[in-house]
Structure 1
Amino acid sequence: MPVILGISGSPRKGATEYAVQEALKAAAEIPGIETRFWTVRAKKIQFCTHCDRCIREKRMCCKEDDVKELEQLVLAADGFIVGSPVYDMNITAQLATCFNRLRPIFLVHPGALRNKAAGAITLGGTRHGGQETALISLINFFLMHEMLVCGGTGGCYSGGKVWTRDGLARGAAEDEVGMGTVRGLGRAVAEATMVTALGREAWAAKKAELGLGETGPIRDHEI
């Protein structure tokens, strides 16, 4: 059963956790989808110091903290919904640190996230408070790891965008238009996750049939 992992990048229990969980509920409406949830709140998260030990030893980050739990959840997931409140028109420091610490995935588990579906949600206290600029940071993380970015349905475009009026979960819930984009994103990620999960299985079988390695060149006449 394909798994979608929801990640809340907020250090508080409020609008972001609420929005990500609402997106996961919408995703779970698609038959065959399982959802999981992880939050940075109350987690021990150490900064990446760019020691490059991960590169030298081809291993995940040597720091022992709660990011280890996130690593395993990320590797096991088939799709992702990541949310962050807007901090200075960007994502939170906690979430950015998690992204920094996940850097070695491309080296230790090459292709592990390739062609998996991902969608982003941002929430701001003002109507135009940096939601779209913060979305870019989330989308760039997805692209860096070769994931397929989902916008959403019904004018959602680049992701879910919510105006909370600094009202925590209640403020988010009162933004009916914004929460519509969040739920639309959840459904879009779920559909894309089903398609890509089935597609990766078919592609693996096709590569085996053609005798291709993980990164072997593909020619038109071979497909």
Structure 2
Amino acid sequence: MPVILGISGSPRKGATEYAVQVALEAASQFPGITTRYWSVRGKKINFCTHCDKCIREKTMCHIQDDVKELEELVLEADGFIIGSPVYDMNITAQLAACFNRLRPIFLVHPGKLRNKVGGAIALGGTRHGGQETALQAIINFYLMHEMLVCGGIGGCYTGGTVWTKDGKAQGAAEDEVGMATVKGLGRAVAEATLVTFWGREAWEKTKAELGIVEAGPVRDHAI
């Protein structure tokens, strides 16, 4: 059955962890959905050094740290809810490092994430503190991996956006409008994940029956 992975990009326990788990709870209300959670908090996460070993050897990143745990969870998931606090109108350095390190997926496991679903959540200490630009960074990760972006239900637009007033989980909870977008995002990702989970299975059968061959990459990543 379909699995939705929630990822908190915050290095501390607070609003982002709270919001991602609220979204997962909303998603879990759909029969058949299983949820999992992973956080950058307390994890050893090294930066990509652009050594290009992944490209030369068609392998996942050779660096041995906690991102290996995340790799397995990402490959097993059918839908994603990724949240980040706003740092300088962007996502956190920890989450950005995870995205960089997961880049080889499209080389080592081509098409593995294609047509899976991703939703984004951003939380800022000020009302217009860069939530939408942080959301875009998460959305870019989905697009790069050929995923389908889900903005949410009724007024969520590009994802869940929360004004915490720097009040951590309590501050997030007090933003009723923002948390409504988080819950709407969770429900929307769950619905879309169910649709695409069964749809991908049907598409594989259809391709085999009709002899459809999907197009390859538009450029060669080999050195």
| Normalised TM-score (structure 1) | 0.95
**1:40 aligned partner, one-letter code:** V
**1:42 aligned partner, one-letter code:** G
**1:58 aligned partner, one-letter code:** K
Displacement after TM superposition at 1:215 (Å):
4.0
Partner of 1:77: 77
- Spell out the pairing of 1:168-183 with structure 2 (5 A cutoff): 168-183=168-183
Displacement after TM superposition at 1:212 (Å):
3.2
Partner of 1:33: 33
Displacement after TM superposition at 1:208 (Å):
1.2
Task: Describe the SS at the equivalent of 2:183.
Answer: helix
Partner of 2:110: 110
Partner of 2:66: 66
| Normalised TM-score (structure 2) | 0.95
CA distance in 2, matches of 1:215, 1:132: 33
Deviations 1:185-220 (A, max 9, x none): 00000000000001000000011112334548xxxx
Unaligned runs of 5+ in 2: 217-223
Displacement after TM superposition at 1:154 (Å):
2.0
CA distance in 2, matches of 1:145, 1:58: 16
List, as ranges, runs of 4+ consecutive aligned residues in structure 1 with deviation greater than 6 Å.
Answer: none
**1:52 aligned partner, one-letter code:** D
Task: Describe the SS at the equivalent of 2:190.
Answer: helix
- Spell out the pairing of 1:63-212 with structure 2 (5 A cutoff): 63-212=63-212
Deviations 1:137-166 (A, max 9, x none): 011111011100001112000000000000
Unaligned runs of 5+ in 1: 217-223
Task: Describe the SS at the equivalent of 1:64.
Answer: coil
CA RMSD, aligned part only? 0.9
CA distance in 1, matches of 2:31, 2:42: 32
Deviations 1:78-110 (A, max 9, x none): 000000000000000000000000000000000
Partner of 1:220: none
**2:101 aligned partner, one-letter code:** R
Deviations 1:166-189 (A, max 9, x none): 000000000000000000000000
Partner of 2:220: none
Identity %, equivalent residues? 80
